[in-house]
Amino acid sequence: MIEAPRPSAVTLMIVEPNDACASTVSGHTNFAFVGVFYGAIVSAYLIYRTPVSSLKIYIVVLFQLFNLGYAMFVGISRIRDSKHLVADVIGGALIALLTSMFFAGAYIVVSERKRQTFRPDRAPESVLV
């Protein structure tokens, strides 16, 4: 936790001695960027593993750019509304990046293990149908 007063308290020139006005990372920004980073990592993995047309790749990239714009809008609006400092928003985005890398990495590892252990010659008939 950063020992800085929240921007609204600075704007109003009210500084409280307790931790109620301490600055924290932005949860809104964190939540917005988790979707962007996780979606980008998993989409890149799926595009790498699956042959797709270039049109589908462009659609996925366009969708990811839209999501990135939305997440940046959330972060900027938190700063503009004096709810968080710039460091709070950047901290929320960094936590989102680390969280997304962890869970997307776990998804990719599990996915690759399933792919390597699956053998169609030994699969039950219900799977092959």
Question: Closest Cα to residue 83, out of 25, 17, 18?
Answer: 25
Can you give the pTM of this predicted structure?
A: 0.71
Structural domain count of the chain: 1
pLDDT at position 56: 85
Which is more confidently placed, 11 or 96?
96
Asked whether residue 68 is domain-assigned, the answer is: yes
Q: Residue 3: which H helix or E strand, with range? A: strand 2-5
Asked whether residue 53 is domain-assigned, the answer is: yes
Which is more confidently placed, 50 or 74?
74
Range of the domain at 63: 26-110
Cβ atoms 32, 75 nearer than 8 A = yes
Q: C-alpha 82: how far from its chain's center?
A: 23
Asked whether residue 51 is domain-assigned, the answer is: yes
Helix axes 86-117 and 54-80, enclosed angle (nearest 10) = 150
Asked whether residue 94 is domain-assigned, the answer is: yes
Q: Indicate the average pLDDT of the chain.
A: 82
- Given a cut of 80, whether residue 43 has pLDDT beyond it is yes
pLDDT at position 47: 87
pLDDT at position 50: 82
* 6-42 tens-digit pLDDT: 665 555 444 444 444 567 889 999 999 999 999 999 9
Residues 6+ apart with CB under 8 A from 100: 33, 34, 37, 38, 41
pLDDT at position 21: 56
Confidence band for 54, pLDDT divided at 50, 70 and 90: confident
- Running DSSP on this structure, what letter comes out for residue 82? T
Asked whether residue 16 is domain-assigned, the answer is: no
Asked whether residue 118 is domain-assigned, the answer is: no
Other residues' Cβ atoms within 10 Å of the Cβ of residue 91 = 19
Asked whether residue 105 is domain-assigned, the answer is: yes
pLDDT at position 34: 95
pLDDT at position 15: 43
